[in-house]
Amino acid sequence: MRLLVLGRGKTGSLVAELGRARNHEVQVVAARDNDRVKALEQKLRHADVVIDFTVPQAVIENIQACARAGKNMVVGTTGWYGQLEEVGRTVESSGIGFLYGANFSIGMNLMLEIARTGAAAPKYGYLAQIFERHHASKKDAPSGTALTLQGIVREVSQTEPEIISFREGEVVGMHELIFDSPNDTIYLCHDSKSRRGFAEGAVRGAEWLAGKTGFFDFRDIWREL
């Protein structure tokens, strides 16, 4: 398969490395390339699936370019979910396949399922809080994963836990969901040791998406990989 990776940062570079290791042909366009959109449009002609790990400011323009070109797309960039409905309409009208996710780590998606069970805790007098830590160069705060955790608790218990974000050093990504009561405290934590889990999930997601059309959330399909 011919993969086009958008973003030459730490995760994007790892996606390209793993894509080649899985015998795919890989091209890369950096988020800060001069005439980035022009370079993207030229390389789209020779791509089967596009994988985006750029920055929130670039991702909508990238999605629109892929929709115009009729190219399926996997988006691991977060910070743009306020435009999710608009992107859904773009995907539907263009007839492409589109897979997005706040987190492509299998372990994190397992935690999200565990969190759904724990999210009933506020109904029994527990106070919920979310703490998330990422590297100092991460562009969005709170993280997409923290917002997903918050949404799960809100959906299950009709309460909105506070999110506390930290941006420090080279932290890959840590998310803690805490339920506290006068009697005890429940801790749920996922601590990423490297970006490899994100990158591998994105490449496997691209393989899954090949030949499909529609709008998909990684949370709903990861068990099929």
Query: Which residues are identified as catalytic?
Result: 134, 138
Distance CA 105, CA 126 (A): 28
Distance CA 42, CA 33 (A): 13
Say if residues 61 and 37 touch (Cβ distance below 8 Å). yes
Say if residues 179 and 127 touch (Cβ distance below 8 Å). yes
Which letter does DSSP use for residue 122 in this model? G
> CA geometry: angle at 58 spanning 85 and 103, to 5°?
65
CA distances from 195 to 75, 174, 175 (A): 15, 12, 14
Distance CA 126, CA 221 (A): 31
Distance CA 31, CA 51 (A): 12
Question: Strand 127-134 to strand 174-180: parallel, antiparallel, or no bridges (unpaired)?
Answer: antiparallel
Angle (deg, nearest 10), helices 196-209 and 106-118 = 90
